[in-house]
């Protein structure tokens, strides 16, 4: 399945940032979050899952408009909540190794 940018899920590094409270965009449990997540780490996790994705480095998270950490567009193959959980688990594993 090809990546349709108009309907793709959007993943922001802020979703996985341990230093952020949920009210500032963190979407995973603190135990599944990492320090200083980057789009390259998200991209590596998505490659492990075998999902098509596109990194957009120039984009800015709306609640964090002064920092351009970018975002990742991901093909819709599962519910977004499930995708976020799987990516979070892979990020934790990659930080431990």
Count structural domains, the chain. Answer: 1
| Residue of 3, 5, 22 whose CA lies nearest to 84 | 22
pTM for the whole structure: 0.88
pLDDT in tens, the chain (97 residues): 568 888 999 999 999 999 999 999 999 999 889 998 999 999 999 999 999 999 999 998 887 777 778 999 999 999 999 999 999 999 999 887 6
| Of 75, 97, 91, residue with least CA distance to 26 | 91
Supply the CATH number for residue 79's domain: 3.30.56.30
Torsion 79-48-58-7 (CA) sign = negative
Query: Could you tell me the residue range of the domain that residue 13 belongs to?
Result: 9-96
């Amino acid at each position: 399945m090809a990546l349709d940018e108009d309907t793709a899920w959007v993943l922001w590094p802020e979703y996985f940032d341990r230093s952020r409270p949920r009210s500032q965009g963190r979407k995973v449990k603190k135990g599944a979050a990492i320090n200083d997540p980057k789009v390259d780490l998200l991209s590596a996790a998505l490659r492990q899952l075998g999902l098509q994705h596109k990194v957009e480095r120039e984009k800015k998270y709306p609640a964090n408009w002064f920092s351009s950490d970018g975002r990742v567009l991901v093909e819709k193959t599962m519910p977004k909540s499930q995708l976020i959980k799987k990516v979070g688990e892979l990020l934790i594993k990659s930080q431990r190794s």
